[in-house]
Amino acid sequence: MQADDKCIPQQKQEGVSTSGGSQRSVPDGWPFKKAKDLIDARQAVKINFDPSAEEYNMRHKRRGVALIINHVNFKNMATRTGSIKDTEDLKVSLDKLGFDVRVCPKDPTVKTITTVLQSTATEDHTDADCLIVVAMSHGESGLLHSTDSLYPVDMLWAPFTGDRCSSLAGKPKLFFIQACRGMQLDKGVKVMHETDSKRTTYTIPAYADIMVAYSTYDGFYSWRNPDSGSWFIQALCEELELHGRSRDLLSLMTFVNRRVAIEYQSYVPGSEKFHGKKQIPSIVSMLTRLVYFHDKHTPDDIDNGSKGKGTEVEKVT
């Protein structure tokens, strides 16, 4: 197994999934008022959904952009073998859900990443349901490695907050991070199973409607198989293929967690330190509604922004 971090020994190792089959792998107190009572000069952004709706409006003309950033080769760290398969599988899974899948140039520098993110953020997403950004690299707590230097993980979503990207305000912005977040190893715990409709104006937080799914808990290794890809991305693709159109996203991510937690375990018999280790993804959600990727059927099912009463949402400044 390989962990997505620079600290893994440079040697050929073996990995196994507990679901069966052996395969080569690598360890990758102020006073307050209700918002409706506050009046200021913030700019209102029109979005087409009922504030009381339990689901996000996913009936726009386009599903939206899915941007994949994959770091494979580094100057002073191990090559992330197997990550190309993650990219290819993500492209297939996200394309089936109707996303405009874009892959950032291979092994991008921080400058390239910044340019691509800013360019995407300045596009008009008015007729799109949502946004996805996937980043795969070596990492540390709060940081990701690029070809030339480190960059903060929050750089990925900073350009897309409601106050900076108005055409995505009130829409789900989803970020998936495949990278180590530290050097700790999860030994796991043995368990035993025993059978027994009007226009309104209101203000939303700038960081609302964001979900960040990390491949591992803060401070821990993230694992990747050089042949079959990373545990987290592969589990995500499997769940998207099976239930991407039927389950809401947070429920789906719960089952991604389960797949990673139960079906995978490192197999490195030559290293007591890295053998038999586990992994659990960590989901941080600021979503305010349910996300469903239902199929888009007919033009009547599509809300292009010209029909119905809109809701004006004020950008937080």
Active centre residues (catalytic): 138, 180
DSSP string covering 21-84: -EEE-BB-------GGG----PPEEEE-S-TT-SB----SSEEEEEEEEE----SSS---TTHH
Distance of alpha carbon 72 from alpha carbon 147, whole angstroms: 9
Distance in Å from the first CA to the final CA of the chain: 46
Q: What is the DSSP letter of 165?
A: -
Distance of alpha carbon 208 from alpha carbon 247, whole angstroms: 21
Cα dihedral sign, 206-57-175-110? negative
Q: CA angle, corner 57, sides to 51 and 63, nearest 5?
A: 150
Structure tokens at 71: 């770091």
